[in-house]
Structure 1
């Protein structure tokens, strides 16, 4: 049985391995990654789909600000173990994540992804026409949805990361 739970802190390496398998070695070069670099996912909005011991899928949301006034979330990455694609795991992760985001009071979500896939969740490119990302992006793949409000109606400008920074790692003391 597949279960969706919060991503535990000790799962980071396994999640990174899944993301490498799903997106390949160039995934860190993408514009959306610039908004995640050095940041923690939004609190309570990082999930895994698992069957007990094995992570089968993952999704995370990140705090961003559009221009100077509109707060939103960035969805991604969302990935499913390549051999298990097409079994509804990704749909379940997205539905769960969006429901949790709405329950936590978030009002808008942006992403870079395939519009035919994300359309079923309410994402559309027309909602991002006045919004820009800090790097190149295919405008047809730059999508957004609102979670029960008109947050994006007046939103315009550059998207910037606003989430918590990853804490610095403690330095190891060298033996004398």
Structure 2
């Protein structure tokens, strides 16, 4: 399967909205509102257009990934920039064919090129470690809500980028985390 990864364009928004909705509709660990989150994030200061990527097969959009800017703040109120991966979505009929992995790898590569050092996510504990993700607790980083430790992960895009970084992740208001 020939998968082409490219930057999302404005004319892709409606298709991407529907793709995300369809990708998460049967997902148990979801609020089923990821497509609305993406709409809000596109209009935020956290949005980095180059990190909003789509996957195409035969000119059809079949996958999407978004990395947005977040902050990690320590007890001394020092703030460190990182990225949040949310969401990665692949149409159900082509899941399990490596498209999500290609999106993750392409997003990591582009984020490194743009000078970002790390990514934080909340996701499946058996999937993301394949890409180098480790538990956030190994870095001394916590998410601002109560979720199982096994699902809170981070990756250093450049070696040592999370060294001496610890604290609580602060998501943009568009995530609507109370």
TM tier relative to shorter chain = 0.7 to 0.9
Aligned mate of 1:57, from 63, 74, 86: 63
CA gap 1:142/1:80 in 2 versus in 1, 3 angstroms: same
For residues 2-44 of structure 1, what are the alpha-carbon distances to aligned partners after superposition, in whole Å with 9 as ceiling and x for unaligned? 2110011121121121111111282338xx98x9596353231
2:89 aligned counterpart, secondary structure? strand
TM-score (norm 1): 0.79
1:73 aligned counterpart, secondary structure? strand
1:66 maps to 2:72: yes
Looking at structure 1, the residues matched to 120 and 15 of structure 2 have their Cα atoms a distance apart, in angstroms, of 25
Match of 1:28 in 2: 33
Q: Which portions of structure 1, spanning 4 or more consecutive aligned residues, are displaced by more than 6 angstroms? A: none
CA gap 1:37/1:26 in 2 versus in 1, 3 angstroms: farther
Higher RCO, 1 or 2 (CA under 8 Å, sep at least 6)? 1
The answer on whether the counterparts of 2:21 and 2:33 sit within 8 Å (CA) in structure 1 is no
For residues 110-157 of structure 1, what are the alpha-carbon distances to aligned partners after superposition, in whole Å with 9 as ceiling and x for unaligned? 111112211121101155563232323221100001012323232222
CA gap 1:126/1:159 in 2 versus in 1, 3 angstroms: closer
1:148 maps to 2:154: no
Looking at structure 2, the residues matched to 107 and 129 of structure 1 have their Cα atoms a distance apart, in angstroms, of 13
Looking at structure 1, the residues matched to 41 and 169 of structure 2 have their Cα atoms a distance apart, in angstroms, of 12
1:108 maps to 2:118: yes
Looking at structure 2, the residues matched to 160 and 134 of structure 1 have their Cα atoms a distance apart, in angstroms, of 7
Structure 1's unaligned 5+ residue stretches are: 166-176
Looking at structure 2, the residues matched to 127 and 136 of structure 1 have their Cα atoms a distance apart, in angstroms, of 13
TM-score (norm 2): 0.78
Larger radius of gyration: 1
Q: CA deviation at 1:100?
A: 0.9
